[in-house]
């Protein structure tokens, strides 16, 4: 039984410290209980490299669930639970100045892929101190959305994406790590119910 939770992405646009990676490192310190083998990895803000890493995770580790964590740079103290990944519309340049050919993630892939995790149920079931949680069906057509779609594609929907806000006085890496722990434990309950 193992969960593979990754990226904190690396430095992103004007953010030299990416809150998603800081939050994931805090989550790693806290863990998810003795039965879960939690692995973390930082992904580059580069379409092709991030996609290659995602494929590697699914082929080598074959996790029960992959949880992606990314920075929502516009968000105030809000955590966003993303329900699905989209295949097309990737026109924005990455950190290396590239974007995918035809703005597409997978040439033979469906328009969108839904997570097997029901984010709406999750959203109704949890609350986190000092941070609002919202539900979304649009992860933004940048590296986050692209990576999420690739993971949903390779993992047959067994992936989830959580957008976290930038760090601030009220939102610390510690509080985000604690929030991630609460959210992911609830996701694992859903995985458990599916298998029974």
The total of other beta-carbon atoms located within 10 Å of residue 20's CB is 29
- By annotation, the residues acting in catalysis are 82, 144, 163
Burial 141-159 (b: 16+ CB within 10 A, else e): bbbbbbbbbbbbbbbeebb
| Interaxial angle between packed helices 173-195 and 19-30, expressed in degrees from 0 to 180 and rounded to the nearest 10 | 60
DSSP label of 165 = P
Which residues, in sequence order, are CB contacts of 192 under 8 Å at separation 6+? none
User: Do the beta carbons of residue 10 and residue 19 sit within 8 Å?
Assistant: no
Which residues, in sequence order, are CB contacts of 167 under 8 Å at separation 6+? 17, 19, 22, 173, 176
């Amino acid at each position: 039984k193992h969960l593979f939770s990754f990226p904190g992405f690396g430095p992103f646009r004007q953010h030299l410290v990416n809150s998603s990676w800081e939050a994931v490192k805090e989550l790693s310190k806290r863990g998810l209980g003795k039965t879960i083998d939690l692995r973390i990895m930082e992904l580059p803000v580069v379409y092709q490299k991030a996609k290659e890493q995602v494929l590697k995770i699914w082929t080598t580790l074959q996790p029960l669930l992959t949880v992606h964590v990314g920075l929502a740079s516009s968000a105030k103290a809000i955590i966003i639970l993303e329900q699905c990944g989209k295949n097309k519309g990737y026109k924005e340049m990455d950190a290396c100045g590239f974007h995918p050919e035809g703005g597409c993630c997978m040439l033979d892939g469906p328009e969108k892929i839904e997570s097997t995790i029901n984010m709406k149920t999750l959203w109704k079931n949890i609350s986190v101190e000092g941070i609002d949680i919202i539900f979304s069906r649009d992860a933004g057509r940048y590296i986050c959305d692209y990576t999420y779609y690739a993971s949903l594609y390779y993992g047959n929907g067994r992936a989830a994406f959580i957008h976290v806000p930038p760090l601030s006085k009220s939102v610390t890496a510690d509080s985000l790590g604690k929030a991630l722990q609460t959210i992911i434990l609830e996701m694992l309950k859903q995985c458990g119910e599916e298998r029974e």
